[in-house]
Structure 1
Amino acid sequence: MRNVILCVMGVALLSGCSWAKNVQSSKNRVYFENLYFPARLSTNSDDKQSFTVSVDRIDQGLAPAREAGRYEATKYCVATYGNSDVAWVAGPDAPDSELRIVEGRLQFEGRCDV
């Protein structure tokens, strides 16, 4: 009987770990106007200060998608260089007509200003 109780407790603990992992990953999400916009930043292999940001789900709203891209860039520059200044080549403050939208994703390009 003792072995059965230990097995049940072990299964409960393992399922709890899986649940905690899912909760923790959703806690790391940043929402803009109560919407989630997945954003990815990639750096230039030759110059780590230069980067591009790609923002998905822009059909939910262009203004919050812009802020999601700005946030991703700022987060990278602060974490890497300790400074939030970004020199945008194509950035979130551009007029709608000048935004880069490629395959349904908003794309920004900039450089951490250190």
Structure 2
Amino acid sequence: MKSAWATGAVLLALAACGRGELETVTFEGARFNGDLNSQRSDRAGFVATGGPASVSLEGSKQAARYQVVQHCIAYLGSSDVAWVNGPDVEDAALVIEDNEVVLTGRCIEP
């Protein structure tokens, strides 16, 4: 029984380690973390974040955009997005919360 718990703990730790790399984007030598939230009942809609925005707005936008593309492909089979507040807006119009750029929109079904 101890062996099963130890194996489970090791597998959980390895899974957690690998996930961090999927959420990290390197831009101009700096590392940026991204995250995405969507409701289970509506996977097409999302709120994605990337940061730290204080290091680079462009790097933060790319980290969030990367999460969006991965999410849309995984759940809807396409990387097409209808942005509400996207990475192409002017920097002054970006939504920034807690040192992270916030992007919103919907994945477009093929």
Instruction: Give 1 or 2: higher strand fraction.
Output: 2
Would you say 1:41 and 2:41 are equivalent positions? no
User: What is the number of equivalent residue pairs in this alignment?
Assistant: 98
Q: Which amino acid aligns with 1:54?
A: T
Q: Distance in 2 between matches of 1:103 and 1:38?
A: 13
The Cα of 1:95 is off from its aligned counterpart by 0.5
Query: Does the CA-based 8 Å contact 2:81-2:107 persist in structure 1?
Result: yes
Aligned pairs for 1:12-91 (under 5 A) are 21=14, 24=18, 28=22, 29-91=24-86
Instruction: Give 1 or 2: higher helix fraction.
Output: 1
Query: Does the CA-based 8 Å contact 2:51-2:63 persist in structure 1?
Result: no
Q: Percent identity?
A: 31
Is 46-55 or 91-100 further displaced after alignment?
A: 46-55
TM-score (norm: length of structure 2): 0.74
Unpaired runs of 5+ residues, structure 2, are: 1-9
TM-score (norm: length of structure 1): 0.72
Structure ID, larger Rg: 1
CA RMSD of aligned residues (A): 2.5
